Structure 1
Amino acid sequence: MSKVIINTTNAPAPIGPYNQAVFVESTQTLYVSGQIAIDPSSGELIMGDIRRETGQVMKNLKAILNEANMDFQNIVKCSIFISNMDNFGAINEVYGEYFQNDPPARETVEVSCLPKKVNVEISCIAVKF
């Protein structure tokens, strides 16, 4: 079993000892680390509007998927961590724009605190079919 490290400048650089994603060749599975709303071109943290924040998270996921020659249709599982369940509807609305058909399995969990005090973090698992 070999693994391939996936990193792209089109998504924010990791802020700790991890990679943006790891691709396991034997299972054709991509494990994408949790993404927050950092604009990779400016390094700016996008906050203040939960829809805009969620949109940036999804753009960051898309960039990593693209680097691995995948897209949202390859995602089989997402994990969404939010700081306030009252934001669920707005987050879900933006998230749903990326999954028009056959959305993946997922869970959404409210947590007490996320990195850099963001409101949403999303990770995913994708498979090359």
Structure 2
Amino acid sequence: RSVLKHNCSRLCVSSQAVVVDRTMYISGQLGMDPASGQLVEGGVQAQTKQALVNMGEILKAAGCGYENVVKTTVLLADMNDFTNVND
């Protein structure tokens, strides 16, 4: 098992990812700018995009890409945001 912390700032209170054998488990990602530690402006669409960018950077640090992702789970505080998240 190895623990991955890539480009950590104040956002890293736990490991960003853990690799066990050939499987990587990425911790929950928020729509936060790693440099500022603040949610990006622009609402749920911009925050979703930033969360995916953050995940992509973690994947890249492990020598992977989005094509290697098997499953993701999206948690919404408001189901009315469902369409915006999927756009």
User: Radius of gyration: which is bigger?
Assistant: 1
Let me know the Cα RMSD of the aligned residues. 1.7
Match of 1:50 in 2: 44
Higher strand proportion (structure 1 or 2)? 1
Higher relative contact order (CA 8 A, sep 6+): 1
Whether 1:29 and 2:23 are equivalent positions in the alignment is yes
Partners in 1 of 2:57 and 2:8 — Cα distance?
6
Aligned residue pair count = 87
Mapped contact 1:37–1:47 kept (Cα < 8 A): no
Superposed CA offset, 1:74-111 (max 9, x none): 00010110001110111012xxxxxxxxxxxxxxxxxx
- Tell me the residue number matched to 1:81: 75
Deviation at 1:10, TM superposition (A): 6.5
CA distance in 2, matches of 1:12, 1:60: 14
Q: TM-score, normalised by structure 1?
A: 0.62
**TM-score, structure 2 length as denominator?**
0.89
State yes or no: 1:8 paired with 2:2: no
Give CA deviations for 1:21-48 in whole Å, capped at 9, x if unaligned.
00112xx000000001110122222255
SS of residue matched to 1:55: helix
Q: Percent identity?
A: 31
Q: Take 1:13 and 1:21, find their aligned partners in 2: how far apart are those partners?
A: 13
Q: Secondary structure at the match of 1:78?
A: coil
1:64 has 2:58 as partner: yes
- The one-letter code sitting in structure 1 at the alignment partner of 2:16 is Q
* Shift in CA distance, 65/20, structure 1 to aligned 2, threshold 3 Å: same
How far does residue 14 in structure 1 lie from its aligned partner after superposition? 2.1
